[in-house]
Amino acid sequence: MILILMYDTRYRMLNVLKIKIYYKGVLRMKEKRWCILTLFLIIFVIFGFKNIFNKREENLKIGILQFVEHDALDASRQGFIEKIKKSGLEAEIIYKNAQGDQSNCTLIANQFVSEKCDLIFVIATPAAQAVAAVTSNIPILVTAVTDPVDARLIKSNELPGTNVSGTSDLAPIAKQIGLIKQIKPEARNIGIFYSSNEANSKFQAEIAKKEAQKLGLNAKEFNFSHAAEIQQVVEYMSQKVDAIYTPTDNAVASNMELISKTALNFGIPVICGEENLIPKGAAGTFGVNYYELGEITAEMAIKILKFGASPQNMPIEYIKNAELVLNNEVLDKLNLKF
C-alpha cells in the first residue's frame, strides 16, 4: 500500500513538473512571438514614415513670385534656386513675374494657393503683401523687403508670429552716407532720391536723413511717382546738391542708368543702396549682395520643407558683412578719390 502511494505521488509530481515546463515553453514562445511582432511593427513604422516623407519630398512644390525684373531681384531668385538645387531637395519650382503690376501679384498669389504650393518665395514688398493677403496657412518666405514689420507682414523681426519670415535687404545706411564724405569731403548738401510708391524707400530715407545729420550734412528728399518724371527730377536735384543717395528701391534700380547718367552730366556722384547698380553708373556703395540674400532664404526654406520648421518662429535674417564696391571709372570722370 505504501509503495503504491509513493508511486502515485511521484507520478503526480512528474506530471506537475511536465505541466510547468510546458507552460514555461508556451510563455517563452509567446514572448518570442511578441518580440518578433514588435520588431516588425517598429520596422514598418520606420519605413512607412520614411516612404511617406520621401513621397512628400518628391511632390514638393515651391512658388516664386517676383515683383519686377531687375538685376538685384533677379540675383536673389538665382541664389535661392541654386541653393535649393545644391541641397538635394527635390521640388518643382514655379516662377512667375508680376512685371511691376500689383494686380498681377494678387492674381499669381491666388494661383499659387490654388495649386497648393508647399512654400511661396516672394521677392519685394508689394508681391509679399499680395501673397500674405490671400493665405495664412502656406509658409511664405520673403526677400528684398526692407522692413517686414512696417510692411505689416509680421509682428516682430525677432519672432514673426505669422506664416511669413525671410530676409531683409536693409542696407548699412550709415556706412553708405559716410561714403559720401569719404569720396567728396567738401559735400554739404545731399539729395535722397526714391519712388514715392515704395514704403520701404520712405523708411530708408528717414534713416538716411538722421545719419546725414550726424555727419553735418543737409539732406533733402526728392521723389517721383512715375518713371517719366525721373530725368526732370534728377536734373533739378543735381543743381541743388553735392551728391545723391538712392536707397534700395525697385523703380530706382530699374532706371539707374538714366539717373546716374543725368547726374554725371552735372558732376554729381550717386551713392546707391546695393552693389548691382555699380555697373549701371552709380559711384559706389557698401552693398547688399542679393544673390547671398537668396541663398540665406533658401536655407530657411530647407528647414521648413525638410525638417518641419515654422516661419512664425524663424527670425528675419540679414546680410552680415557689407562690402565696399566702387566704380572707379565714374570716380575718375568726377575727379573723386576714395
What percent of the chain is predicted at pLDDT more than 70? 83
Amino acid in the structure at residue 126: P
Place of cell 513538473: 17
Q: Pairing relation of β-strands 284-287 and 323-326?
A: antiparallel
User: DSSP character for 273?
Assistant: S
Question: Is the pLDDT reported for residue 26 higher than 60?
Answer: no
Assigned domain for 322 exists? no
pLDDT digits (tens, 9 = 90+) for 56-66: 455 899 999 99
Pick the residue with more confidence: 206 or 39?
Answer: 206
In terms of domains, do 299 and 159 share one?
yes
Assigned domain for 9 exists? yes
Q: What are phi and psi of 19, to 5 degrees?
A: -60, -40
Assigned domain for 323 exists? no
In terms of domains, do 81 and 163 share one?
yes
In terms of domains, do 194 and 103 share one?
no
Assigned domain for 320 exists? no
Number of domains in the chain: 3
Region 261-278: mean pLDDT is 96
Assigned domain for 54 exists? yes
Q: Which of 8-17, 39-48, 112-121 has the highest mean pLDDT?
A: 112-121
- CATH of residue 68's domain is 3.40.50.2300
Residue 310 vs residues 12, 137, 201, 329: alpha-carbon distances, Å: 70, 11, 29, 47
Strand-pair partners of 221: 192
Strand-pair partners of 218: 189
pLDDT at 322: 87
Q: What is the mean pLDDT of the chain?
A: 88
In terms of domains, do 250 and 239 share one?
yes
What percent of the chain is predicted at pLDDT more than 90? 78
Measured CA to CA, the distance from residue 101 to residue 67 in angstroms comes to: 7
Question: Is the pLDDT reported for residue 29 higher than 80?
Answer: no
Measured CA to CA, the distance from residue 89 to residue 97 in angstroms comes to: 23
Assigned domain for 331 exists? no
pLDDT digits (tens, 9 = 90+) for 75-110: 999 999 999 999 999 999 999 999 999 999 999 999
- Per the structure, the complete domain to which residue 51 belongs is given by 1-58
